[in-house]
Amino acid sequence: MKFELPGLSINPFEKDVVHKPRECPSSVATLNEDILSGLVAAFESVNANRTDVGNKAELILSAAPGYGKSHLVGRLFKALNHKSTQIFLTPFQTVSLCWQSILLHIVNELDYPESSDETKWSFDEPRQLDALAEGVLKNLIANAIDEGLVRIVQGELQSEQLRKSPEISLGKGSDPRSTWLRDHFIDELLPLCQQQLFPLRLTSTGWLKVLFYYLTSSPGSEIRQGCLEWLRYETLEDSIVQSLGIGPGENPRSEPVDVVNNACWLRIHDFCKLARYYRPFLFSFDQTEDYKTNLELLQQFGRVVVRMVNEVPNQLTVVTANQAIWDNQIFPNIDDAHRDRFSISKQLRGLDSREAEELIRLRLAPFAPASELLDRFLDRQWLNAVFSGRKTLPAREFMQQCRDRWAGAKIEAPVPPLEQIFEEYLSEFRVNPRWRYFDPDVFRWLVKGPLAADPAIVCTENNKETPFAELQWSVPGRAEILFGFVRELHFTQWKKIADVAEAWRAKHPGKVAKIVYFRSEDLNPVPKPTWTKTGPAIRAALGPGLLVLSKEESTVLNAARDLYLEAVSGNVSGYSGEDVLHFLQRRLASWRERILRSPSPSHLEEPERRTPSKPPDQSFLEKLRTLVRQEKFLSLSDALEKLGAGTSEDLLLEACEKIPQIQKIAHPNMVVLIWQG
């Protein structure tokens, strides 16, 4: 028997892996409810004691893949909506710069909308960083009012209003109180706020200015980008340092590596301490199975978690893993002294038959199925057969049973080829621009792993030439390639690297010798158009190695990494991490050739300038929201047609990011927008 819904060409049970917790679909409330409430209670305890350190990392294990670890993290995010600042962390790939890697993830995660509440929506939904900055500044000002340091002589501004009223906003508020706060912050209110921070012993006095300028500058502006760079501990250009009014000593350094890594750790520490004036952080380390492949990284992971729980206040750390891998490979390799920093594990359980039935109803609800179809699908005999001999089933295993039933498969569907699975991953990465944000660990893994899969290539660590390169490929008689994984650097640093690139070329005559940097779409161009003096030299020396990625190229490389991580975690049915690695070695072979290719003169040409796309305006967002709400579900191409001329796919996808009620289900041949409200 096959099932169909009018207008729906996809299988509603197709999507059975939660890649990122924020995309977690509706959940069965009773499933693993005890674990969820235990985590919420642990978080409440952190919230009640914001200066304490030493809470153990909460360990969540599943007896097999498919029990919903990432899904549980997604539910935890929803449960702690408006109570926590939520950070989802994937495995880092470097020991020496692990804190930098974590800090980059944190700042990227802070760009997610503050609210995942599907019932509320506003045009300019604040980001987590907006909310954090507003919260900290408003609370500090309110404290100053309470202590009598600020006297309101005219008008009305009470501390409680300041703490609770969303209308008062330093960033976007247009009422007189907000305007007054903005106008008087730097000269009058800032010192009163700064003095409250002395006991925290923050490593920088620039924090409040940076948060203020971040809030009050427009998105995409140089000042706002500068604030984000400062938060990521990236060196700022002098003009930005001046605009922010911070001392030259507050400008982050770019080298040496250990100093940068330690400074990033201190940034994370400061973030959490400052957040005492707002909300605690919730850190979730997922896909930890990847660490089993590298003992050095695994041990560093243990040290990272221990340092977080021992030294960072005002945060809860959650670690998820598969039990077998955790017990046999990860835990035994974590230093003895670090093991007791993990809580007694909480083990996920599967769905019972009542919960399974509820899950089917939840999955089909957005498509408003006829009751007759629903009854037919929920046939008791079929459910009894599925649960024959067992009380519970892992959620994914049950979803796969549903998928087969929907498609009318009489026998278990054969394992699809990896190429087909990879296509599904690509579809997901195409429609989620945030998943393509620059992540240096993706490229570290590619360069050490699938791209280096040629017996002629010897990949080694090399940071002797410059602190901004980490790895080297040597191909005897053919090429000497250095790889760096930096995000943004000061132009003086790029110039230094250009000099190193020239010297490297001279050192290896007759060979392809260059320094390669992957530059994804969200990064600044190198050189920037404003670097009029150094720009040409930088372009000439580094041009051959600057791999400026198109949207599709970023999609392929990021999806490759995710496919591998999911396979290592056991989430790619029928394939191990090794299988995926072999597949990617073939699939990405052209990248190897591209990297080893001799430079062509075209690199000297100034690259075509990317014009930043215009963000969707309020009327477009409202139009899209109304359309999807009315239709309940429709394909992306139908939505484009109905929204009329001038609507691009990128604009529509960007708009979807701003409307939490719209869920995207991506398939290789179709993207479906589903109303979740």
Partner 1 sequence: MPNAARLTLNASNPDPELPPSAFLLLPFHARHLLAETHVSHRQKLLEKFTRRSRLTSSEVGRSAAVQSALNELLADGVVRKVDAYYLAGREPSTQTEKARITQLLESKRKLFPASSLLSKKKALKPLGRSALAELVDERVVLELPVHGKSSQILYIHHSYLARSEAEVQTAPQRPVEERILAAYRDGSTARQRRSIPISELIQRSGLTASEVRTWIVETGIPARKVQLDQGDWASASDDERAAAIEQGGRKRLYIAIEP
Contact residues toward partner 1 (CB under 8 A) are 61, 63-65, 292, 322-325, 327-329, 344-345, 347, 349-350, 389-392, 394, 397, 412, 570, 576-578
Edge-to-edge strands of the sheet including 346-347? 85-89, 281-285, 315-322, 58-62, 346-347
- Count of beta carbons in the 10 Å neighbourhood of residue 29: 11
Separation between Cα atoms, residue 616 and residue 372, nearest integer Å? 41
- Count of beta carbons in the 10 Å neighbourhood of residue 544: 22
Shortest CB 182 distance to partner 1, Å: 54
Shortest CB 39 distance to partner 1, Å: 18
Separation between Cα atoms, residue 45 and residue 39, nearest integer Å? 10
> What is the full DSSP assignment across 255-269?
--HHHHHHHHHHHHH
Q: Which of residues 323 and 492 has its CB atom nearest to partner 1 in the complex?
A: 323
Q: Which of residues 327 and 606 has its CB atom nearest to partner 1 in the complex?
A: 327
> Of 35, 40, 58, which Cα lies nearest the Cα of 342?
58
Shortest CB 215 distance to partner 1, Å: 46
CB 271 within 8 A of CB 23: no
Give the orientation angle of helix 551-568 with respect to helix 418-431, to 10 degrees: 120
Q: Which of residues 63 and 223 has its CB atom nearest to partner 1 in the complex?
A: 63
CA distances from 147 to 167, 193, 202 (A): 23, 11, 22
Q: Which of residues 256 and 408 has its CB atom nearest to partner 1 in the complex?
A: 408
Shortest CB 393 distance to partner 1, Å: 8
> What is the full DSSP assignment across 508-557?
STTSEEEEEEEE-TTSPPSS-TT-TTTHHHHHHHHGGGEEE--HHHHHHH
Shortest CB 322 distance to partner 1, Å: 6
Shortest CB 397 distance to partner 1, Å: 7
3-state secondary structure 347-399: ECCCECHHHHHHHHHHHHHHHCCCHHHHHHHCCHHHHHHHCCCCCCECHHHHH
> Of 589, 596, 599, which Cα lies nearest the Cα of 451?
589
Edge-to-edge strands of the sheet including 512-519? 458-461, 471-475, 479-484, 512-519, 546-548
Separation between Cα atoms, residue 421 and residue 335, nearest integer Å? 37
Shortest CB 67 distance to partner 1, Å: 9
Q: Which of residues 5 and 63 has its CB atom nearest to partner 1 in the complex?
A: 63
Shortest CB 454 distance to partner 1, Å: 25
CB burial of residue 522 (10 Å; 0-12, 13-18, 19+)? middle
Shortest CB 351 distance to partner 1, Å: 12
Separation between Cα atoms, residue 498 and residue 537, nearest integer Å? 7
Shortest CB 289 distance to partner 1, Å: 8
Q: Which of residues 191 and 416 has its CB atom nearest to partner 1 in the complex?
A: 416
Q: Which of residues 412 and 593 has its CB atom nearest to partner 1 in the complex?
A: 412
Q: Which of residues 396 and 539 has its CB atom nearest to partner 1 in the complex?
A: 396
Q: Which of residues 63 and 186 has its CB atom nearest to partner 1 in the complex?
A: 63
Shortest CB 62 distance to partner 1, Å: 9
Q: Which of residues 153 and 344 has its CB atom nearest to partner 1 in the complex?
A: 344
Q: Which of residues 82 and 391 has its CB atom nearest to partner 1 in the complex?
A: 391
Instruction: Name the DSSP letter for residue 5.
Output: B
CB 537 within 8 A of CB 495: yes
CA distances from 626 to 74, 237, 632, 650 (A): 26, 43, 10, 19
Q: Which of residues 344 and 645 has its CB atom nearest to partner 1 in the complex?
A: 344
Q: Which of residues 368 and 415 has its CB atom nearest to partner 1 in the complex?
A: 415
Shortest CB 410 distance to partner 1, Å: 13
Shortest CB 662 distance to partner 1, Å: 34
Sign (positive or negative) of CA dihedral 376, 382, 386, 390: positive
CA distances from 227 to 232, 237, 244, 423, 537 (A): 9, 11, 8, 37, 28
Q: Looking at this protein, which amino acid is placed at residue 205?
A: T
